[in-house]
Chains A and B, each alone.
Chain A
Amino acid sequence: MPPRGPLRFTLNGQPAEVPSEDARILLDLLREDLGLTGTKRGCDLGTCGCCTVLLDGRPTLSCLTLARLCEGRDVRTIEGVTPAQGLSPVQQAFVDHGATQCGFCTPGFVVTATALLRDRPHPSRDEIVRAISGNLCRCTGYLKIVEAIEAAAHGRS
């Protein structure tokens, strides 16, 4: 198959144009080729949610996504949901409520929670739990994560 041209997509709000093989996985493209290491590699099998990014606004497992499928689409990583200065309300709530421990799953949770609160500014506890059920955390028992998302939704920190 002849090599295609560079991959064009929107990355964290900026147009991006990068060479990419057809078989390149989005997670590898982000971490290895573009140095966006905030997105974490936990399993490579779509089981842990550490690699979650937003693809056209939807939480998506970048380890199961071919980079080519992002052609012309909008990709937002943890770096792209972080303000230039300070923290987003969700991020601040995660800090204040001790929702991080080892922190390795945290970017995935923050990305997922950011999308949830954009779509459902005042989610119920059940909706929060459902939204994060694709993300595994081994440190916190999820309780402080749910608490933090609730607090962010209600403007508490």
Chain B
Amino acid sequence: MASTPPPTRLLGGRIPYIEGPLKVTGRAEYTDDIQRPGMLVGRLLRSPWPHARLRSIDTAAAAATPGVFAVLTGDEYPIPFGVLPITHDETALAVGKSRYIGDLVAAVAATDERTAELALGRIRVDAEPLPEYSDPRMGVGRVAEPIHARGLNGSNIQKEVVQHFGDVDAAFARAAASTRVRGTFAGVTHAFTEPMATIAEATPDGRLTVWSATQVPHYLHRSLSEVLGLPMHRIRVIKPEVGGGFGGKSDPLPHEIVCAALAIKTGRPVKILFDREDVFLTNHGRHPTQNEVRIALDRDGHILAYDIEALIDGGAWSSFGTVTTYYNGVLAMGPYRVPNFRYKGRRVYTTKPPSGAMRAHGGTNIRYSVEVALDQLAEATGVDPFELRARNALPANSTTVNEFRITSTSFVKCLEAARAASGWTEKFRRLPYGRGVGLGCGFYISGSNSPIHFTPVMPQSTVHLKVDMDGGIAVHSMQADIGQGSNTLLAAIVAEVLGVDLARVHVQRVDSDVSPIDLGSYSSRVTFMMGNAARAAAEELRAKIVAGAAELLGCRPDELSVAHERIERTAAPAEGVAFDDALHKAMERVGALTASGAYQTRPVGGSFKGARAGTAPAYSFAAYVAELSVDVETGEIHVAKIWAAFDCGRPLNRLAVEGQIEGSIHMGLGQVLGETMSYRGARLFNPSLLEYKIPMPQQMPEVEILLVGDDDPEGPFGAKEAGEGPLIATLPAIGNALYDAIGVRFYELPITPDRVLRGIDQRRAEGRPFKGA
């Protein structure tokens, strides 16, 4: 067997995205760019009530409107669905009750937009308003009208997690130092640029084709099958280019099912295109959260215990919420060794747009509180923040108290790199008043070890390859490129293993008819899982082609190596054959060559209830330093620079890793400085990009990226995730830098100028000058 060449030819370099030329010319095809003959426009009627019983829906006038082909209500497709099989609490359209302002109540398919809107206006809904629950605290006990029947003991609690490892009370009793942080976090949302869009077409051959802007075509496929009552093999799901997701397109969404139902009902293609308000109302963004973190240290500055509580505002549906509830506890531990750990987390339904998975899902808000608490402890005990963290770093090849398996970690190297590059020693507590530096660290899963659907036991990723006479290699996989560059990585891994030019490798559009299942783009799983599957597939294909070369050269395959577009004798590289010649020899009698590779996690973690949550085949680590200044007259924060030391194992495409880190910092910066899903009661008040402000180019700091990871033993070519973990450390690095600048701790995000000024005023009023000011 020929050996894989060292990953130096393509992998590890800067590989421009393969679809770049299509994207810069406007030629990349997104869902809304697709036209089908005779296509109708689908429109949705949204609930104006936060919570209401739907007594009746009169659709007669709407249905009679000329140009209307179908009107749909919830009773026609009442089967519940949801992304997690254990919490199916959504329906395509409201059945019996609507649960937030924006919940889908009815749908219309018509010849054009105006007709559809006219018809929506003619639908009469007789509704009885029910109590509004806009705050999770209103729903923790028994309530008059639970939002869902499945709420815990007549409350609105969707999920409660209680975990205790070791003895936390005893640890606090013998602690040399301890601290507490109570954090409050506004909800934030993904704000991807492409609004959701879906096209569905039912054809006379009994099949249904659905094009949709989704991160997880497979979950959409399953949900369509369950709700529509069609076997999966009669449904074909196609994922065109997707204009960003960040978690917001990872749930199967009700409008996707409605669109399919309208297509079935009308026999015509139907498109549903969201406007920006639809996108905001669909939300599934980061949960508004209140948390409390207590951390105890021993005399040597070792962490003795964490004691954590989280109250999480779920909105109207479960979505990924059960996972969120676990993550808010268990993802707080790494990158540190925590011998005693207690967590109580509750996710509570409210009558607001659902929250769900957003980049660095479950690991972001709690991380802010933990890292601010550690900063407080460093100050209280007179230890440098870097030193405190280094002392507590999780060692490689260890097990956490809740039985996470830790393999590779370069966390200490991250700390060393960030400290040196940022000039920390000269700056920390030494910059003039109003300027400061802060350290924040992070830790995130590189894929979820347990797939959401447990049976049958299937690989999390499968990749198929086909090569014919032309020598082009077609790659099929249901991995979903949503802009992060996974198509490019897939092509590069195949090209690397086969020794061929990237231009030979053609990654095919995701199409459930031909793409083998991969669980899609979420939980930072793609590089690790698809990468391993792609490598396995390419190695199988390489073996076939090398066998052809061996026949031509009259030697054994194990005497050969793959070189650039060529296969040659390892001992005598001058003796070799061109890739195409070897390929054609290998194709004799069998025709086109095919190969398949798969990746499945090995079992890790404990056996207690909830033990699987947060287990991963590997973890990323981060240490960020932020340097900023505060305008003490206006309260405005200017983040000048972030040094981002990150352990993603071996970076396979540096261009993409940098892109993920820079984009993550942008998103983290937005959550610290101003992004807020702003509610008055249960009504979302800012459902537009004018009022929900993501950072502008002027606000982006300079970013210096320090990739210091060692190879991961199980990652493809040593790689781990870089898509979500890079967000996490941004927030506490800025929060702790603010303290270094003005001596004020901020426990509520976002940290808006008014809050900054209030903090400065309060500290002055208390007569506690800081850095002489």
In whole Å, how far is A13's beta carbon from the nearest beta carbon of chain B?
16
Give every chain A residue within 8 A of B17 (Cβ-Cβ): 95, 98, 100-101
* Set A38, A40, A94: member contacting B194, Cβ < 8 A: A40
* Measured CA separation A144–B654 after assembly (Å): 13
Give every chain B residue within 8 A of A139 (Cβ-Cβ): 244, 483, 659, 663
Count of chain A residues with Cβ under 8 Å from any Cβ of B? Answer: 49
Find residues 48-98 in chain B having any chain A CB closer than 8 Å to their own CB: none
Give every chain B residue within 8 A of A141 (Cβ-Cβ): 662-666, 695, 700, 703
Q: Kindly state the interface size class of chain B when it binds its partner.
A: 35 or more
Q: Does A50 contact B (CB under 8 A)?
A: yes
* Measured CA separation A98–B661 after assembly (Å): 13
Q: Does B611 contact A (CB under 8 A)?
A: no
User: Across the two chains, which residue of chain A brings its CB closest to B245?
Assistant: A102
Q: Does B689 lie within 8 Å of A106, measured CB to CB?
A: no
* Set B195, B696, B703: member contacting A42, Cβ < 8 A: B195
Pick the interface stretch among B21-29, B407-415, B457-465, B502-510.
Answer: B21-29
Q: Does A20 contact B (CB under 8 A)?
A: no
Pick the interface stretch among A2-10, A54-62, A129-137.
Answer: A129-137
Q: Does B697 lie within 8 Å of A140, measured CB to CB?
A: no
User: Across the two chains, which residue of chain B brings its CB closest to A105?
Assistant: B193
Find residues 43-57 in chain A having any chain B CB closer than 8 Å to their own CB: 43-45, 47-48, 50
User: Across the two chains, which residue of chain B brings its CB closest to A130?
Assistant: B698
> Between A and B, how many residue pairs show CB distances below 8 Å?
170
User: Across the two chains, which residue of chain B brings its CB closest to A41?
Assistant: B32
* Measured CA separation A106–B483 after assembly (Å): 11
* Contact A102-B483, Cβ < 8 Å, known A48-B193, A141-B700: yes
Give every chain A residue within 8 A of B667 (Cβ-Cβ): 138
* Measured CA separation A137–B703 after assembly (Å): 17
* Measured CA separation A145–B659 after assembly (Å): 10
Contact flags B28-48 to A (C-beta < 8 A → 1, else 0): 111011010000000000000
User: Across the two chains, which residue of chain A brings its CB closest to B483?
Assistant: A102
User: Across the two chains, which residue of chain A brings its CB closest to B690?
Assistant: A47
Give every chain A residue within 8 A of B664 (Cβ-Cβ): 141
* Contact A129-B697, Cβ < 8 Å, known A102-B194, A138-B666, A144-B659: yes
* Measured CA separation A38–B33 after assembly (Å): 8
Q: Does B354 contact A (CB under 8 A)?
A: no
* Set B23, B35, B246: member contacting A138, Cβ < 8 A: B246
In whole Å, how far is A149's beta carbon from the nearest beta carbon of chain B?
11
Find residues 653-705 in chain B having any chain A CB closer than 8 Å to their own CB: 655-656, 658-659, 662-667, 688-690, 694-698, 700, 703
Give every chain A residue within 8 A of B483 (Cβ-Cβ): 100-104, 139
* Measured CA separation A138–B703 after assembly (Å): 16
* Contact A102-B21, Cβ < 8 Å, known A136-B694, A138-B667: no
Q: Does B539 contact A (CB under 8 A)?
A: no
* Measured CA separation A130–B696 after assembly (Å): 10
In whole Å, how far is B431's beta carbon from the nearest beta carbon of chain A?
24
* Measured CA separation A130–B697 after assembly (Å): 8
Most B C-beta atoms less than 10 A away, residue of A42, A45, A141 = A141
Give every chain B residue within 8 A of A104 (Cβ-Cβ): 30, 192-194, 241, 243-244, 483
Q: Does B252 contact A (CB under 8 A)?
A: no
Q: Does A153 contact B (CB under 8 A)?
A: no
Q: Does B700 lie within 8 Å of A91, measured CB to CB?
A: no
Q: Does B298 contact A (CB under 8 A)?
A: no
Give every chain B residue within 8 A of A45 (Cβ-Cβ): 276, 688-690
User: Across the two chains, which residue of chain B brings its CB closest to A86?
Assistant: B21
Q: Does A102 lie within 8 Å of B244, measured CB to CB?
A: yes
Q: Does B16 contact A (CB under 8 A)?
A: yes
Q: Does A16 contact B (CB under 8 A)?
A: no
Q: Does A102 lie within 8 Å of B482, measured CB to CB?
A: yes
Give every chain A residue within 8 A of B19 (Cβ-Cβ): 100, 103
User: Across the two chains, which residue of chain A brings its CB closest to B243?
Assistant: A104
Give every chain B residue within 8 A of A82 (Cβ-Cβ): 25-26
* Contact A144-B662, Cβ < 8 Å, known A37-B33, A38-B25: yes
Most A C-beta atoms less than 10 A away, residue of B19, B190, B244, B658 = B244
Q: Does A87 lie within 8 Å of B16, measured CB to CB?
A: no
Find residues 73-119 in chain A having any chain B CB closer than 8 Å to their own CB: 77-79, 82, 87, 90-91, 94-98, 100-107, 110
User: Across the two chains, which residue of chain A brings its CB closest to B691?
Assistant: A47
* Contact A142-B21, Cβ < 8 Å, known A42-B193, A45-B688, A137-B193: no
Most A C-beta atoms less than 10 A away, residue of B17, B25, B700 = B25
* Measured CA separation A8–B700 after assembly (Å): 42
* Measured CA separation A91–B21 after assembly (Å): 8
Find residues 336-382 in chain B having any chain A CB closer than 8 Å to their own CB: none
Q: Does B662 lie within 8 Å of A140, measured CB to CB?
A: yes
Find residues 714-741 in chain B having any chain A CB closer than 8 Å to their own CB: none
Give every chain B residue within 8 A of A69 (Cβ-Cβ): none
* Measured CA separation A110–B29 after assembly (Å): 17
Most A C-beta atoms less than 10 A away, residue of B35, B482, B662 = B662
Q: Does A38 lie within 8 Å of B659, measured CB to CB?
A: no
Q: Does A132 lie within 8 Å of B193, measured CB to CB?
A: no
Give every chain B residue within 8 A of A100 (Cβ-Cβ): 17, 19-20, 23-24, 483
Question: Could you pull out 17 A-B pairs where Cβ atoms are within 8 angstroms?
Answer: A37-B33, A40-B194, A45-B689, A78-B26, A79-B25, A82-B26, A95-B24, A98-B17, A100-B24, A102-B245, A104-B192, A104-B194, A106-B26, A107-B25, A129-B697, A138-B667, A145-B697
Q: 7 closest Cβ contacts across the A-B interface?
A: A38-B26, A102-B483, A104-B243, A103-B23, A141-B666, A95-B20, A78-B26
Known A79-B26, A102-B244, A144-B659; 18 more pairs at CB < 8 Å:
A37-B26, A41-B32, A42-B689, A45-B276, A50-B193, A82-B25, A91-B25, A96-B16, A98-B17, A100-B20, A101-B17, A104-B192, A136-B193, A138-B244, A138-B667, A139-B663, A140-B666, A141-B664
